[in-house]
Structure 1
Amino acid sequence: MPAEHSVEALRALVRMTRLLESASPDLSLAHYRVLAAVAAGEGRASRVAARLALGKPTVSANVDALCRRGLLTRDDVSGDQRAVALRLTPQGERALAEAERSMLVRLEQVLAHTEDPTRTADGIARLGAGLDALADERVAAR
């Protein structure tokens, strides 16, 4: 891909991020990302940090805030005194679902203004798969 297309893609992603964040005023993108990672099965803060390419202190601060809001719980992991398992509360599941509904509306509005909405959505999904593969490489390298 020529550098100019990469810059255009980068700028579009940054603009889209702002649109998505404004779609869900009750849940920041940082909090959304943590809830979504936990919902996808990343139940430990260290794995959430690796998956999201964030530092453990950043994830810890987000987890603390989400627990205070009643959206996440921390449970002890039997056999490992240092580890805790993160789980969404019913309120957290509702907050995540509502944020995703609102953000999907924004995404669909943007997709509707592209030349080929299905192909564009497929490309975004492939980008997600690439992000997952990169995160897996980072986790495996530790």
Structure 2
Amino acid sequence: MPEPTAAGSLSAPGITTAGTDPTPTAGTAKPTSTTPSATTPTAGTAPAAGSTPDPAAVLAVRTLARVSRVLERSTAELNLAHYRVLSAIAGGDARASRVAQRLALGRPAISAAVDALTKRGLVVRSDVDGDQRAIALSLTPLGERLLAETEAEMVARVGALAGRTPDPEQVLRVLGWLGPAIDELVAEHLASR
């Protein structure tokens, strides 16, 4: 996990955040000060209204958007939205309502995705014992195969991109940290309702 810095922001070796020199030294960013500036937010916080966003954060957002496109092009068989639904089901979220929560989708969006995946023979719906309103979802063998093939291609593409960086293992580790962070944000949002 990333380590909190003295300023309260999250940092990781080789990751440049506010108040750091982007020149890596032995795989780490060198702090230029211990206090973030008034106009530069610390990692994990939104910039104040009227302030300039952290250039490293802007670059990260733009890069993630580009990586998303690389993932979308991994297969012609499965779009990224449908991949997300299949991977959530495979990850243990069997109820449609839980898939919707995990992916931060509304019921109409999850219903449309599940309808499309069901028509393609990738997902099956079933009733949940003791709950007439709940629908359980599971992957068919075809859905499992397509998910495995798609993930293998996505992993290969992300691995190839990471391989072009100074520290491929660190890039993959840092990207992996975002999954639990997203889960935490979703849980906080659901708890605040």
TM-score normalised to structure 1 length: 0.95
Structure having the larger proportion of residues in helix: 1
The whole-number CA distance in structure 2 between the counterparts of 1:139 and 1:9 is 26
Q: How is 1:61-80 mapped onto 2 (pairs within 5 angstroms)?
A: 61-80=112-131
TM-score normalised to structure 2 length: 0.71
Task: Name the counterpart of 2:110.
Answer: 59
Task: Name the counterpart of 1:84.
Answer: 135
SS of corresponding position for 1:74: strand
The Cα of 1:40 is off from its aligned counterpart by 0.6
Segments of structure 2 that go 5 or more residues without pairing to the other structure are: 1-16, 19-53
Aligned-pair RMSD on alpha carbons?
1.1
Kept in 2, the 8 Å contact 1:71–1:88? The answer is: yes
Task: Name the counterpart of 2:98.
Answer: 47
- Give the one of 116, 127, 131 matched to 2:178: 127
Kept in 2, the 8 Å contact 1:50–1:138? The answer is: no
The whole-number CA distance in structure 2 between the counterparts of 1:136 and 1:73 is 27
Q: Using the aligned pairs only, state the percent identity.
A: 51
Structure having the larger proportion of residues in strand: 2
Task: Name the counterpart of 1:15.
Answer: 66
- The one-letter code sitting in structure 1 at the alignment partner of 2:73 is S
Which structure has the larger Rg?
Answer: 2
Matched, 1:109 2:160: yes
Task: Name the counterpart of 2:85.
Answer: 34
Segments of structure 1 that go 5 or more residues without pairing to the other structure are: none
The Cα of 1:134 is off from its aligned counterpart by 1.5
